């Protein structure tokens, strides 16, 4: 069976996912067979494995960092919020229904056998398992029957590293406060501390290290600087969604829907010089972009209603009338059509008229489509005629079935009308053959020749993982880390 190390954080977005990914890469570089694991994830960013199972996108990213194929074993429970108080519950890669938070809390202990079955299978296949916790381990009202933080550490007999985020301030209160709220047997499992996202001169934290070790009674493995690596973020806490930076030569506006999902679909555009991506929530902020993207969502009807009531639908239509191209992905594709209905209540029930920019009608059913796919664009016209017959690959995650009278966009579906395009394929822009042609077309529309560099997406991602691993390796005591893993608890 594999050795294990568990990464817990003082709060959400403390950097657990990135730190776990860094360790996966480091252990792989050091010659170990390594895999990530998160017993329960709550996120709207998800991924479909090669055999059709749905897992958290962050765990798929960590598997890539480890150099292994993403598997349903690495994330046996996934919660996808559908409302402020409820989620779709996915167990072993398949949806088992929607539950309120209270319903799930009562039943989550029943999932322990399935979680441990996945963990034990994974452990038998690898040398080291990097386990990631969720949120904070000391949410005292939620600690009963915990299956993702200290409860998981006990089940896996995994030593714990506690990570604090100094970038948002209060790192002493975060780390020391968390330690003070742990029970004795939980405190014994914590074998070290990590200060994450430090900006500036790290030598200024020398006295801070002494304070943490003296008051916390735990060694500080290191202070990790704020690493500017372009790696997929975990969830809606991502700072990318609040981007208000300067616009590039090409300004791509993504409508930030209330329950936006899989916003990592657009990370590829960061590779292109002169291209910026903004996430827009207000009518006045849309302005005059060069391209609009309507992304996926976990609550299509509710977000279509928001799009209409916020005035964003009108703003998008005005841009379309001026010739601005619009591309909808998954839920965004459904919204571009004429109607959306949910007779079985798969995502809350009801029906609503869409934007009417595509001649499509969507009806939600009981079964979720979960599949990886690849193919080619059809011979198409309109603004992005340049995408004709381009190769793509990606994956589908959706409840709805869409019937279309518009021209077909892809060999496997989708639709387009003039400068409006839509399909179900997450990750479709990752293909160099798609994003490169699309970016060049946007430049050409402004009578500018694109002269920036173009990098193979896969090579680019691997280089970012190496950069992340190098930054963490230089910052922490690797000898102590390997000793903690070896000794266990």
Phi and psi dihedrals of 468, rounded to 5?
-60, -45
Catalytic residue selected from 24, 319, 378, 426: 426
Rounded-to-integer distance, Cα 111 and Cα 394, Å: 30
- 426 has catalytic annotation: yes
- Helical axes 16-29 vs 457-475, angle rounded to 10°: 90
Rounded-to-integer distance, Cα 20 and Cα 5, Å: 9
CA 17, chain centre distance (Å): 10
Catalytic residue selected from 24, 34, 330, 360: 330
Q: Which residues of 392-405 are buried (b: 16+ CB within 10 A; e: fewer)?
A: bebbbbbbbebebe
Rounded-to-integer distance, Cα 297 and Cα 247, Å: 25
Quick one: which of 484, 333, 329 has its CA closest to 392? 329
Q: Which two tokens stand for residue 361?
A: 């009608």
Rounded-to-integer distance, Cα 255 and Cα 295, Å: 7
Quick one: which of 17, 4, 470 has its CA closest to 238? 17
- 330 has catalytic annotation: yes
Q: Which two tokens stand for residue 371?
A: 């599949």
Strand boundaries in 116-199, DSSP class E: 128-132, 160-165, 190-198
For residue 63, what is the enclosing H or E element? helix 57-66
Let me know how many helices (H) and strands (E) the chain has, helices first: 15, 24
Q: How far is the first Cα of the chain from the last one, in angstroms, to the nearest whole number?
A: 15
Strand boundaries in 208-307, DSSP class E: 220-225, 250-255, 260-261, 275-280, 291-294, 296-297
Q: What are the C-alpha distances in Å from 166 to residues 66, 135, 145, 175, 210? A: 27, 16, 30, 10, 16
CA 341, chain centre distance (Å): 27
Quick one: which of 216, 209, 180 has its CA closest to 195? 209
Which residues are part of the catalytic machinery? 330, 426
């Amino acid at each position: 069976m594999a050795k294990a190390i568990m990464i817990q954080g003082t709060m959400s977005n403390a950097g657990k996912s990135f730190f776990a990914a860094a360790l996966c890469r480091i252990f792989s570089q050091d010659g170990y067979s390594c895999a990530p694991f998160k017993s329960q994830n709550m996120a709207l960013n998800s991924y479909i494995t090669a055999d059709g199972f749905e897992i958290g996108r962050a765990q798929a990213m960590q598997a890539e960092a480890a150099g292994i194929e993403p598997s349903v074993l690495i994330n046996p429970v996934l919660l996808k919020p559908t409302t402020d108080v409820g989620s779709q519950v996915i167990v072993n890669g398949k949806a088992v229904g929607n539950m309120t938070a209270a319903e799930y809390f009562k039943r989550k202990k029943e999932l322990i056998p399935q979680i441990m079955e996945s963990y034990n299978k994974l452990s038998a296949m690898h040398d080291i398992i990097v386990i990631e916790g969720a949120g904070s381990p000391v949410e005292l009202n939620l600690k009963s029957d915990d299956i993702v933080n200290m409860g998981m550490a006990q089940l896996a007999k995994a030593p714990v590293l506690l990570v604090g985020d100094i970038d948002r301030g209060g790192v002493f209160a975060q780390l020391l406060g968390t330690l003070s709220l742990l029970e004795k047997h939980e405190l014994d499992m914590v074998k070290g501390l990590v200060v994450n996202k430090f900006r500036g001169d790290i030598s200024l934290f020398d006295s801070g290290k002494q304070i943490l070790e003296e008051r916390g009674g735990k060694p500080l493995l290191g202070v990790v600087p704020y690493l500017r690596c372009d790696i997929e973020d975990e969830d809606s806490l991502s700072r990318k969604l609040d981007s208000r930076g300067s616009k590039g030569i090409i300004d791509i506006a993504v409508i930030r829907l209330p329950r936006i999902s899989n916003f990592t679909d657009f990370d590829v555009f960061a590779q292109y010089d002169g291209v910026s991506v903004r996430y827009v929530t207000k009518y006045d902020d849309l302005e005059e972009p060069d391209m609009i993207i309507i992304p996926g969502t976990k609550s299509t009807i509710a977000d279509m209603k928001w799009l209409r009531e916020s005035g964003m639908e009108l703003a998008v239509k005005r841009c379309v009338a001026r010739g601005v191209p619009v591309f909808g992905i998954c839920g965004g594709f459904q919204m571009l059509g004429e109607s959306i209905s949910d007779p079985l209540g798969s995502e809350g029930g009801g029906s609503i008229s869409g934007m009417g920019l595509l001649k499509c009608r969507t009806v939600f059913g009981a079964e979720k489509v979960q599949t990886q796919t690849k193919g080619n664009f059809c011979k198409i016209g309109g603004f992005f005629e340049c995408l004709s017959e381009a190769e793509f690959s990606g994956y589908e995650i959706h409840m709805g079935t869409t019937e279309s009278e518009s021209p077909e966009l892809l060999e496997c579906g989708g639709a387009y009308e003039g400068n409006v395009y839509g399909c179900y394929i997450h990750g479709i822009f990752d293909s160099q053959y798609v994003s490169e042609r699309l970016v060049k077309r946007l430049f050409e529309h402004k009578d500018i020749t694109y002269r920036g560099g173009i990098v193979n997406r896969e090579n680019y991602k691997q280089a970012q993982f190496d950069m992340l691993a190098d930054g963490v390796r230089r910052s922490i005591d690797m000898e102590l880390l390997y000793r903690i893993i070896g000794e266990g608890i």
